[in-house]
Amino acid sequence: MIEVRNVSYTYSDGTRALRDVSVAFPPEHIFSVLGESGSGKTTLLNCVARFAQPQQGEILLDGKDVRQYEEREFRRAVGVIFQRLYLFPHLTILQNMTLAPRHVLGRPEKQSAADAREMLERLGIPDLADSYPSQISGGQAQRAAIARGLMLRPEFMLLDEPTSALDANTTDEFARWLWELHETTNFIIVTHDVLFARQASTRGIYLREGRVQARGGIDEIIAEATAGA
Predicted local confidence at residue 226, as pLDDT:
76
pLDDT value at residue 24: 94
What's the pLDDT score for residue 80? 86
Secondary structure E strands in the chain: 2-10, 16-25, 30-34, 56-61, 64-65, 78-81, 156-160, 186-191, 203-208, 211-217
Which tens digits make up the pLDDT trace of 115-138?
A: 899 888 877 788 999 999 899 887
Determine the pLDDT at residue 175.
83
Question: For position 228, what pLDDT does the model report?
Answer: 54
**Predicted local distance difference test score (pLDDT) of residue 137:** 84
Q: Say if residue 68 is exposed, middle or buried (CB neighbours under 10 Å; 0-12, 13-18, 19+).
A: exposed
User: Domain extents for the chain?
Assistant: 2-227
Report the CATH fold assignment for 2-227. Rossmann fold (3.40.50)
Indicate if the alpha-carbon torsion angle 218, 125, 105, 95 is positive or negative: negative
Q: Following CA atoms 205, 208, 47, 65 in sequence, which dihedral angle do they give, to the nearest 10 degrees?
A: -60
Q: Which pLDDT value is given to residue 229?
A: 55
3-state secondary structure 29-77: CEEEEECCCCCCHHHHHHHHCCCCCCCEEEEEECCEEHHHCCHHHHHHH
CA 42, 48, 49, 51 torsion-angle sign? positive
Question: What was the pLDDT predicted at 101?
Answer: 81
pLDDT, position 43 = 95
Q: For the chain, which residues score pLDDT lower than 70?
A: 83-85, 165, 228-229
What backbone phi and psi angles, to 5 degrees, belong to 153?
Answer: 50, 55
Residues 6+ apart with CB under 8 A from 122: none
Output the CA–CA distances (angstroms, integers) from residue 117 to 9, 93, 98, 168, in the order listed.
Answer: 41, 10, 10, 28
